[in-house]
Structure 1
């Protein structure tokens, strides 16, 4: 194991996921979210299969001991991805990223309810602080007299996406008891591809050449990002790598400003800082308690 290499791979994966989200956002005005999910999932699969072949891991990658567990994870993950992609077309990239940080906080609560994990006062307090941060981000959207309807819908979508991502994470924690990480990664892409096709009757469009290239690029980059993330957790402990997830805010702020001309508000920055602080507190506490969930972390993407 090499902690330095693990951190480098983690940062690369975070950057690639933000690039992927930016590509999806660039097409969101015309391409439906379900169609974007298809491109993201289908074109990630060749990259993942090639990675499994290089690692001589095809057997474990295709072996599923709990097929319905993969389906349940896929349903929650695809719904999270679809609602998250839809939100990208309605809200600034940094705001979507910041609100999305609620997902690991909600995972703590759902794991206590659904998995019986012990919820100590420290973690419960940190979750409460994090949710206050989310409220700070949302407050301008909730208090303006002339509410932007599209932005309000975007807020609802990203909040729903955060809950669904938390459910997917809980399901991954169940799967790692019996499944290999490679199988979890492969079957999520496969399930997402199949489920996204169910949205075909709801208004798919024929993409322009530029849109098709952008969407295919999002899929390929998403697959590569997943490989980088999984590889990172093979090189270093989850507790060491987890805080670097928040580097995504820096990347989102930079790309949002340069590419989409999105200027972050003071409330968004303050709320994001509060949410990130709460997340880091939980990560620190879990490290103190000796909790190791690297396999689950490596099998879940920030987009579902």
Structure 2
């Protein structure tokens, strides 16, 4: 049904991004659980290895394993470094801040993406986009449940995580425009995560209960699905359109925060989320109209009587 009103790639990109928000929010919930009791390497050494293996298994073509070669080694290296550092930063942001405040910083990603998309990707950012991003910034300010009173270590860590995460996403978009081997973008960052976290793990390891091990494996599966879906979405839509849509993650985070952690956001939090989601919808509409202007309308051929 959605394909009747939106161009195919745009519709697919929107749906994939929405699915990504559900998967990544579930993974974030597990991250917050782990952050309360374990150090980052305890979760990421295992999950990085599992995701890397799943990437190899899934990357089949014609019944045989497809290689993980990439045509953009420099951009891939940038994505790997940004992903590893950003993942660790987000881990400690979840330890130091409530879910709603972490989302505040996640919602800033479109602003950074818009700044990077022009010089890095050569994607024109029209005035409508900047208006939508400004509207999103207004919504972001509402997401402080008790107002902006001070800046603590958690806020600085979350800001660093967002900058690094945006670099990773823009690099993904750059690679996706030039290389159709999508799972290579999932494989290499998680392989690097496994290696780096594995090197630190002996110094911070604590025995894990069987249930916690199960949660770690569930995290790996959710993360694999989320990153695969996100790479596919970034191949279909510009980064500054995908990233505002990711603000749908707020709805899942509110539900998880209430059900699991007992965090009930105030009314201003929901108001801010509504403003940001509207700004994201505006960007999607702007992208749809741009695609339609670029695609000539072919005359309909009437069937012979």
TM-score normalised according to structure 2 size? 0.77
In the TM superposition, residue 188 of structure 1 has moved relative to its aligned partner by 2.5
Conserved? CA contact 1:104–1:279, under 8 Å: no
Q: Which residue of 1 aligns with 2:250?
A: 249
Q: Which residue of 2 aligns with 1:88?
A: 94
Q: Which residue of 2 aligns with 1:15?
A: 22
Distance in 2, Cα, partners of 1:157 & 1:57: 42
Q: Which residue of 1 aligns with 2:49?
A: 42
> Aligned in 2, Cα 1:13/1:173: closer, same or farther, shift over 3 Å?
closer
Alpha-carbon deviations, 1:33-71, whole Å to 9, x = none? 344333332222232222223774732x51122323212
Q: Which residue of 2 aligns with 1:192?
A: 193
Distance in 1, Cα, partners of 2:179 & 2:160: 27
| Count of residue pairs brought into register by the alignment | 281
Distance in 1, Cα, partners of 2:92 & 2:219: 15
Distance in 2, Cα, partners of 1:3 & 1:37: 38
Distance in 2, Cα, partners of 1:100 & 1:86: 14
TM-score normalised according to structure 1 size? 0.77
- Structure 2: state its 5+ residue gaps: 5-10, 293-305
Q: Which residue of 2 aligns with 1:126?
A: 132
Task: Name which one, 1 or 2, has greater alpha-carbon Rg.
Answer: 2
Distance in 2, Cα, partners of 1:232 & 1:170: 12
Q: Which residue of 1 aligns with 2:8?
A: none
Conserved? CA contact 1:13–1:225, under 8 Å: yes
Conserved? CA contact 2:24–2:223, under 8 Å: yes
- Aligned residue among 56, 61, 68 for 1:62: 68
Q: Which residue of 2 aligns with 1:73?
A: 79
Conserved? CA contact 1:37–1:78, under 8 Å: no
Q: Which residue of 1 aligns with 2:282?
A: 281
Equivalent position SS for 1:89: helix
Distance in 2, Cα, partners of 1:3 & 1:230: 21
In the TM superposition, residue 159 of structure 1 has moved relative to its aligned partner by 2.0
Give 1:254-273 correspondences, 5 Å limit: 254-273=255-274
Equivalent position SS for 2:183: helix
